[in-house]
């Protein structure tokens, strides 16, 4: 078990696999076992970092997304100014059922497969 102190919250996290990072944030009730059905698929060729804190609010997620460079500028029609960061919102799901849903893998894997092999931008830029 590992913990990181983030903005006064003791954030539990696990790491699986290796390669480009994929961060899964989970807040609310439940455990890491909720990700068990899709973790092997996601960690096949990626470093999956699973974090869990009941205190993760939507505002925290948006702030984290912005720190990774997401949502800070228009991407242009052709996507040329698109940030490497992505934020997915899956309608009709809650934190109770999303981690076992094929919709999650369906949203994440195509993005990861299409990602550039270049390293991501430095954290916070």
pLDDT in 10s for each residue of the chain, 125 residues: 688 777 777 777 888 888 888 877 765 555 667 777 888 888 888 888 877 665 566 777 778 788 778 888 888 888 788 777 777 778 888 777 877 888 888 888 877 777 654 555 554 44
Phi (first) and psi of residue 123, to 5 degrees = -55, 130
3-state secondary structure of 6: strand
Phi (first) and psi of residue 47, to 5 degrees = -95, 105
Q: What is the dihedral of CA 55, 56, 58, 64, to 10 degrees?
A: 140
The confidence score (pLDDT) of residue 117 equals: 47
The confidence score (pLDDT) of residue 27 equals: 55
Phi (first) and psi of residue 101, to 5 degrees = -85, 135
- What pTM was computed for the model? 0.47
Q: Extract the runs of DSSP E, i.e. beta strands, from 7-53.
A: 9-16, 20-26, 46-52
């Amino acid at each position: 078990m590992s913990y990181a102190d983030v903005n006064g919250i003791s954030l539990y996290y696990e790491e699986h696999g290796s390669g480009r990072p994929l961060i899964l944030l989970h807040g609310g009730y439940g455990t890491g076992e909720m990700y068990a059905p899709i973790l092997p698929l996601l960690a096949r060729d990626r470093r999956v970092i699973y974090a869990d804190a009941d205190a993760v609010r939507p505002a925290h997620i948006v702030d984290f997304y912005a720190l990774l460079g997401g949502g800070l500028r228009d991407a242009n029609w052709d996507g040329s100014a698109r940030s490497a960061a992505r934020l997915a919102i899956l309608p009709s799901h809650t934190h109770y059922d999303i981690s076992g849903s094929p919709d999650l893998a369906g949203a994440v894997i195509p993005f990861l497969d299409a990602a550039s092999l270049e390293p991501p931008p430095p954290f916070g830029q």
